[in-house]
């Protein structure tokens, strides 16, 4: 499968590993992509943590998206740049992995993740354990050439209802098939939580842009807190996204919610600030 280990894989090499405790790694953002969203930078950090966690359990368990206590967006990443990834595992057992980490570009921190927890589930339900373990060896020993990631088309959002600058609801249809499902995951395709978050952030940024803010630069994502993915989102599933701006000043805050079949499936809070404040 051409997409395997490329369509949604964001660690090219694991450069340092202290088993079960911490690791460093790299990912080259391919040139020629239109952009590289911050959520994928977070995904890269999360994937490095996943490698450490899977290795720690002898490739019996793997983490799936759960909680992300705090993600700080500290700088943009542009195609052609190399991400230097770093994770610290706070605890890891067969039930859950707790970790934090960051990504740097040329020494400058571009993203910080704190208080993240992934539920550890049987790896064999999602993937072929021996293939994953083999890949881990390659990443540890030689690494893989960069440039394999081809980008992910942003999900189309159809606005259902809006109160400009206050609240917006939109429908998102998860594609029935997409290259990233080959990696996420071969035996059980689910929408990556970071792609859901990317759509939610785009919705909230659009909403915040409607606020009257004469003379200041546009609001952009500075921090997202208390992200929780409560259930698997499957290919072809219809999801309803909502963003509600709850505070406006130098910093605007948006409550993010995703629902499907009447059930709340993901939540989070996004802080948007003008660039000067965000830095």
Chain residues in the site for another protein (CB under 8 A): 66-67, 69, 95-96, 115, 117, 119, 228-231, 257, 263-264, 267
Instruction: Report the residue number, 67 or 272, with the smaller CB distance to another protein.
Output: 67
Q: In the bound complex, what is the minimum distance in angstroms from residue 182's beta carbon to another protein?
A: 25
Buried b (16+ CB within 10 A) or exposed e, 122-150: ebeebbebeebeebbeebbeebbeeeebe
**CA-based nearest residue to 67, from 197, 251, 262:** 197
Q: Which is nearer to another protein, 167 or 230 (CB)?
A: 230
Residue 198 CB, shortest distance to another protein, in Å, is 20
Q: How far is the CB of 231 from another protein (least distance, A)?
A: 6
| Minimum distance from residue 63 beta carbon to another protein (Å) | 11
Nearer CB in complex with another protein: 63/189:
63
Tell me how far apart the alpha carbons of residues 121 and 26 are, in angstroms, rounded to a whole number. 26
Question: Which of 194, 215, 199 shows the shortest CA–CA distance to 274?
Answer: 215
Q: Which is nearer to another protein, 60 or 275 (CB)?
A: 60
Helices (H), 142-188: none
Element (H, E) at 141: helix 129-141
Q: Which residues pair with 92 in a beta bridge?
A: 97
Residue nearer to another protein on the CB measure, 64 or 152: 64
Measured from the CB atom, the residue of 173 and 231 that comes closer to another protein is: 231
What is the rounded CA–CA span in Å between residue 30 and residue 140?
Answer: 21
Strand 108-122 and strand 251-260: the pairing is: unpaired
Which tokens hold the place of 249? 């000043």
Q: How far apart are CA 161 and CA 165, in angstroms?
A: 12
Q: How far is the CB of 226 from another protein (least distance, A)?
A: 8
**Between 38-56 and 129-141, two packed helices, what is the crossing angle to 10 degrees?**
110
Minimum Å distance from CB 38 to another protein? 23
Least distance from another protein to the Cβ atom of residue 69, Å = 8
Rounded Cα distance, 163 and 175, in Å: 28
> Phi and psi of 201, rounded to 5°?
-70, -40
Comparing CB distances to another protein, the nearer of 65 and 87 is 65
């Amino acid at each position: 499968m051409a997409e395997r280990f490329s369509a949604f894989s964001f660690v090219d090499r694991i450069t340092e590993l202290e088993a079960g405790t911490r690791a460093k790694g790299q990912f080259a953002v391919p040139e020629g992509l239109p952009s590289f969203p911050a959520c994928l930078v977070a995904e890269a950090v999360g994937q490095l943590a996943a490698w450490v966690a899977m290795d720690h359990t002898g490739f019996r368990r793997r983490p799936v998206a759960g909680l992300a206590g705090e993600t700080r967006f500290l700088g943009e990443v542009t195609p052609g740049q190399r991400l230097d990834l770093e994770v610290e595992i706070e605890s890891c057992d067969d039930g859950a992995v707790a970790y934090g980490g960051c990504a740097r570009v040329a020494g400058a921190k571009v993203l910080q993740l704190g208080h993240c927890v992934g539920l550890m589930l049987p790896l064999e339900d999602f993937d072929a354990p021996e293939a994953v373990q083999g890949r881990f060896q390659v990443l540890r020993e030689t690494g893989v050439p960069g440039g394999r990631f081809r980008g992910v088309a942003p999900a189309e959002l159809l606005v259902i209802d809006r109160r400009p600058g206050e609240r917006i609801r939109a429908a998102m249809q998860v594609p029935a098939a997409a290259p990233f499902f080959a990696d996420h995951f071969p035996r059980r395709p689910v929408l990556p939580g970071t792609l859901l978050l990317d759509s939610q952030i785009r919705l909230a940024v659009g909403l915040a842009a409607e606020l009257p803010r004469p003379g200041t630069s546009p609001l952009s994502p500075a921090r997202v807190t208390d992200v929780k993915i409560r259930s698997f989102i499957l290919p072809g599933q219809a999801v309803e996204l909502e963003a509600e701006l709850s505070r406006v000043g130098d910093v605007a805050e948006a409550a993010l919610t995703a629902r499907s079949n009447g059930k709340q499936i993901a939540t989070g809070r996004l802080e948007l600030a003008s660039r000067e404040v965000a830095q």
